[in-house]
Amino acid sequence: MERDIHLGGSLKNNEISVLYKIQKKSTETTVKRLKLTIIILLLTLSSTLSFAWASDPIVQLNGDQFTLSVTDQSLSTILEKLSDQGIHIRIDPRINPKITAAFTKRPIGAAMNTILRSVNYALIWKQNEVSESDPPRLQEIRIFYKGQEGRIRPLIKNVQQTVAKKTARTFYRKDILLLQLAPSMTKDALEDLVAQLGATIIDTHAPLGIVQLRLPPGSDVQTIAKSLAAYPEIQDAEPDYAYPLEGGSPIPVARERSSPSQSVQVSPANGTTVAVLESATQYATANGLVLVAAAGNTPTGKPVYPAAYENVIAVGALAPDGERWDQSNYGDFVDIQAPGFAYMPVGYQGDAGLYAGTSIATAYIAHQVAAILDETPDADQSAVLQKLSTEQ
């Protein structure tokens, strides 16, 4: 759906430029792109201006060029902001000095030498999957004391600061946008779009044509995603949805992970189907993975995703007496049920003890699926489900 945008007031230089371009190029596609540009400018202008004048630390990575401006700031805060830009961080938890530094567009290696003088680090680079001719992209930073690299752990972030709420049960990551590109999208067109959005590409998946973008802070992700429907080279645009863990805070949806057993467990459950997520499940299945997902801990009888996708095994939970747990979701989309109670020596935001949930049942089934695939590696979802049914 397109709407005419009334900017209001007298024409300014940039508005005259837009009108001139419309007169020079009157094709339908050009008009759509110009309207999209106006929408994007309106949506991001206020957030971009507020960012420019913000007193928060400036931590920006563009390719291998690092810009930093901080005063007596903890290293963990700097690393969190790099993590938000798509860089995986692994660090010895004991390392967290205060940093004071200011430089612009310094090579990341030289920059790390400046702020990490007393510890060791390693930079891990990844080749660009969209265009192999492009330079590699920084994928991971590892920080450790000399000779003690075995102590590094993934950086623990304050998730609450990176998750926004859409509805009572739907969450998404702040300022993160997922695009599924049409085959007609060229590299130059993608770069133009990213520039219009004022965004940064933080990850790509070439086989599915999926690109993950970081928008300017405070962007209206929902509205920008809808406006991109007018762009002819975009098949789909969506926020990066997150899902709440039972009894805890919302966390971003788990990224795709493969394993030697070819079994993948996905616990998040949401009542909204997401095109990008559905494409990911189809891709995983086509590449020989068997997907197992929790049916959810709210007994509505309504389908939840990704469990309700046809190529995913949906798991409900059983109580200790063998009957359906009263908080387990149910319905035609549920393929199988399994024990949903387990003793946890370390609780999630709570004490050790007995816990219940469809995620526990999903772990139980995922273990059985792995065993089946170990015996019959070529078994598909149908064969695995049949084998599971005979073992119940």
Q: What DSSP line would sit under 287-344, residue for residue?
A: TT-EEEEE--SS------BTTTSTTEEEEEEE-TTSSBPTTS--STT--EEEE-EEEE
Let me know the angle formed at the C-alpha of 219 by 214 and 225, rounded to the nearest 5 degrees. 75
Element (H, E) at 204: strand 200-205
Pairing between β-strand 234-244 and β-strand 250-252 as defined by DSSP bridges: antiparallel
Protein fold of 59-152: Phage tail protein beta-alpha-beta fold (3.55.50)
Q: What is the pLDDT of residue 354?
A: 83
Q: What is the pLDDT of residue 56?
A: 67
Q: What is the pLDDT of residue 365?
A: 94
Percent of the chain at pLDDT > 90 equals 34
Hey, do 1-46+172-242 and 256-392 end up sharing a CATH topology, with the first three levels equal?
A: no
Q: What is the pLDDT of residue 269?
A: 52
Q: What is the pLDDT of residue 347?
A: 60
Q: What is the pLDDT of residue 218?
A: 85
Element (H, E) at 165: strand 163-165
β partners of residue 270: 305
DSSP 166: S
- The radius of gyration of the chain from alpha carbons, rounded to an integer in Å, stands at 24
Q: What is the pLDDT of residue 167?
A: 55
Q: What is the pLDDT of residue 47?
A: 41
* Distance (Å, whole) CA 15 – CA 17: 5
Q: What is the pLDDT of residue 334?
A: 96
Whether cis (ω within 30° of 0) applies to the bond prior to 306 is yes
Q: Which residue's entry shows tokens 């993590």?
A: 83
Compute the residue count for the chain.
392
CB count within 10 Å of CB 70 equals 20
Domain assignments of the chain as residue spans, ordered by start: 1-46+172-242, 59-152, 256-392
CB-CB contact of 285 with 311 (8 Å) = yes
pLDDT per residue rounded down to tens, the chain (392 residues): 333 333 333 344 343 333 334 344 444 554 455 455 444 444 444 444 333 334 567 898 888 899 999 999 999 989 988 887 878 899 998 999 999 999 999 999 999 998 988 899 999 988 766 556 677 888 899 999 999 998 998 887 654 455 565 555 567 888 889 999 999 999 888 988 988 898 888 888 888 889 989 888 888 988 999 898 788 899 999 888 765 544 333 333 333 333 344 555 555 556 667 788 888 888 888 888 999 999 998 899 999 888 999 999 999 999 999 999 999 999 999 999 999 998 877 665 667 778 888 989 999 999 999 999 999 999 999 999 999 988 76
DSSP 113: H
Q: Which CATH class is domain 1-46+172-242?
A: alpha beta
Protein fold of 256-392: Rossmann fold (3.40.50)
Query: 381-391 vs 358-375: helix axis angle to the nearest 10?
Result: 110
